[in-house]
Structure 1
Amino acid sequence: MKVVIKIGGSLIREAPELVDRLVKEFGSGIKDAPPGGVVPGKMPFSILIVPGGGVFADAVREADEIFGLGEDASHWMAILGMEQYACYLQDKSRVKGMDSIKELSQGVSILFPYRLLKAEDPLPHSWEVTSDTIAAWVARQTGAVFIKATDVDGMFWKGKLIREIFTPDLAGDFESCIDSALPGFLQKNKMECIIVNGKFPERVIQAVYGKPVTCTAVKGNI
């Protein structure tokens, strides 16, 4: 089973623990790493981590505000920010890095997205398109379940967690933690995004297994 997990920049402090827990559960694809999560008779998982931009993309935003960068420059610089976050995650773990999605490794791996996106250039160059929509595109291309791990439990309306919402309903006054391009992408491609709090690794693991968990399921024309 293929799963794309976008790990947001808001989790930069907690992300190493989350990645370690995923590796213990599902393995890592590194030859000399412990084969955690590999249980005879169980379905193997290919877990591809797509890094957010975090503080690295924020630096590009700041440079854009000060120096007035063009949309193309901002787009590619921000994706290079995702590469920096990928380097950080790999430095804190023993997880295999990948720059292609043609064949996903069994266990957990981290996507270094710049080369792939530069070759495909599949999305508009705009600050409305961030790592959320990029991760959704990766999930679509690989036929993977799409999970967004962030620092909140999901989406809220008037202080209450929304368990499930359809993309056409997102025009309301919601406390959103997704980029503005993601709902349209999910709608167009008939996809679902599970938003879960990555500060609780067990929740992410439960979401991977498709079990009930505290989250928001954002459904696009499903």
Structure 2
Amino acid sequence: MDGAINGFPPYGFSAVVKFGGSIMRDLAVCKHAVAELERLADHGHRILVVPGGGIPDKAIEAVDVAASLTPSTAHHACALAQDQTGYMLADPAFSSKLVPSASLGECRALAKAAKVPVLLPSRLLFAADPVEWTWHITSDAVAAWIAWLTSTPRLVIWTNVDGVYRGGAVDDPAALVEQITARELVRFGHTSIDACAVDFMAQKHLPGAVINARYPARLADWLAGTPVRATDITVNGSEEADINPQTLGDT
């Protein structure tokens, strides 16, 4: 996929990395993960970071459990929680190269300048309104949609576990699913990647992986095509054709 369409300059991202909010529970791990993103940028990778809702999102969920927020309130508050996490990740306390932006065009320019753009997705989500207002849709699905929207060839869910485990048995190393197609993974339901994101990946032929940010070098290895301890999410043969929304005609 070269993304070359006359009059439509490609975004040129090599991967969308959904930076799981769970990573921020351990700030030392978070700093090491951010440092790895900076190192990848120094080596020519153009990474687009989509932040999870993280700590602000958990606070919204707690209020919803206690007071039952309307879907509109929950959806819009959670989108803004992603922005808040993005601002924190890009703060000098963590990073010298991560830069927050609400504009995909600016994100493209930042990546070209060897920075690591952190998309603040709320403005884009409010304008396009692409997802249902439900707790079943998480920042994983938002990241998958953004990867498709920008014609990015792969999606990484960077989180605090090694990947997807059969039966959710995260304490059983033998239960780790090392490779699976997106269509097969849909049947697992919500795991360390939400089911809506996996279904989107299957429908849009978008491969990716679930990778543990506690071992940040695994991300570089996976991007280089080296097998790592993670869950590699593939798409079947002919399905790997082209995820470009401009050429597929999908909406």
Matches within 5 A, 1:27-42: 36-37=42-43
Unmatched runs of 5 consecutive residues or more in structure 1 = 27-35, 38-43
1:198 to 197, 213, 224: 213
Q: 2:50 maps to which residue?
A: 50
Q: 2:104 aligns with which of 98, 101, 104?
A: 101
Instruction: Report if aligned partners of 1:156, 1:175 keep a CA contact under 8 Å in 2.
Output: no
1:41 is matched with which residue?
none
Distance 1:185 1:25, change over 3 A: closer
Point out the structure with the larger helix share: 2
- Answer yes or no: is the 8 Å Cα contact 1:196–1:216 preserved in 2: yes
Distance in 1, matches of 2:19 and 2:150, equals: 17
Distance 2:176 2:70 in 1: 37
Corresponding position: 1:5 with 2:7: no
Aligned residues: 207
Alignment partner of 1:110 is 2:118 = yes
Alpha carbon RMSD of aligned pairs, Å? 2.0
Question: Cα distance, 1:15 vs. partner?
Answer: 2.0
Find the residue that maps to 1:96 and give its secondary structure.
strand
> 1 or 2, which has the higher strand percentage?
1
Task: Report the equivalent of 1:62.
Answer: 62
**What's the counterpart of residue 207 of structure 1?**
222
TM-score, normalised by the number of residues in structure 1: 0.85
Shift of 1:46: 1.4
Q: Percent same amino acid at aligned positions?
A: 29
**Shift of residue 175, structure 1, vs aligned partner:** 8.4
Tell me the residue number matched to 1:152. 161
TM-score, reference length from structure 2: 0.76
Question: Counterparts in 2 of 1:113-132, with a 5 A limit?
Answer: 113-132=121-140
Kept after mapping to 1: 8 A contact 2:160/2:212: yes
Shift of 1:67: 1.7
Would you say 1:183 and 2:191 are equivalent positions? no
Give the deviation of 1:123 after TM superposition. Answer: 1.0
Q: 1:83, 1:112 within 8 Å by CA — same for their partners in 2?
A: yes
- Post-superposition Cα deviations, 1:77-99, rounded to whole Å, max 9, x if no partner, equal 01111111111101121221121
> What is the rounded CA distance, in whole Å, between the counterparts of 1:22 and 1:204 in structure 2?
9
What residue identity is the alignment partner of 2:159?
T
The 1:98/1:155 distance shift into structure 2, 3 A limit, reads same
Deviation at 1:193, TM superposition (A): 2.3
TM-superposition CA deviations, 1:115-164 (whole Å, max 9, x none): 11111111111101000000011111111121111111111126321111
